Amino acid sequence: MTGAVTHVKYGYVDAAGVRVFHRSAGPDDAPALLALHGFPSGSHQYRRLIDALAGEFRIVAPDYPGFGFTEVPDGFEYSFERLTDVVEAFCAAIGLRRFVLYAFDFGGPVGMRLAERHPEWIAGLVVQNANAYEEGLSDAARGFVAAGPDEIRGLFTLEATRGQYEGGAPAGSVAPESWLLDQHLLTGREEAQTALALDYRSNVARYPAWQAWLREHRPPTLVVWGRNDPFFTVPGAEAYRRDVPDAAVHLFDTGHFALESHLPEIAPLVAAHLRQSLPNTSG
């Protein structure tokens, strides 16, 4: 599918007062993919996609504040606007100015805010179970948006984390280290994650603005979606065609974390989309 296997690099970049951990691979002048992770994950969710694509493309995956291995100063205020501030500063710090955006889950609201700020950076979109439409919200998702702090803290248990990965996925298709690492890295971050969960309603309020952005800019868009996602439903995937009529929508018989179970099917689609969106273009 791609060229020779390349080494993955791990490191930190100072961005907006935060030490952003990131993993990256591929030639610096290759077509670039910025991969934004979801909850309760981190850049490690893209580990296998990086291995699959980095022989041909530049793949960059940061951890947000409050996730993964990123280090934040005392007093950091957690909101989706602040996460976007940090990702924006991170891109500027590493010289990433034109890329396809891979948005999953929380990567949707962070990525769309980034796109609003810098439409010139966005060569295309890969949307994987990242909702931007009211009809894509399941009852469980609507409950999450309306939940108070006590209800939200119930999401930070091992059982809940495992359920997010395995719910709707084929039996035996999700490696246990994925949800075990997430749970380990949630420890001590409950207040940060609660603040972000309470701010999630600001994302739903911005859906009309993001839909308008999609209609105006019509970025080449690939939608890859686990059809059994208990949070973001199939109508939310199909709705992207309303604003980007040429969007390619692919549904897979799995749950929220579709890359865990269906990487062999998804990676070639992402590679083809990168070639189409960034032909002969450096990152």
Catalytic residues: 256
| CA 66 distance to own-chain centroid | 15
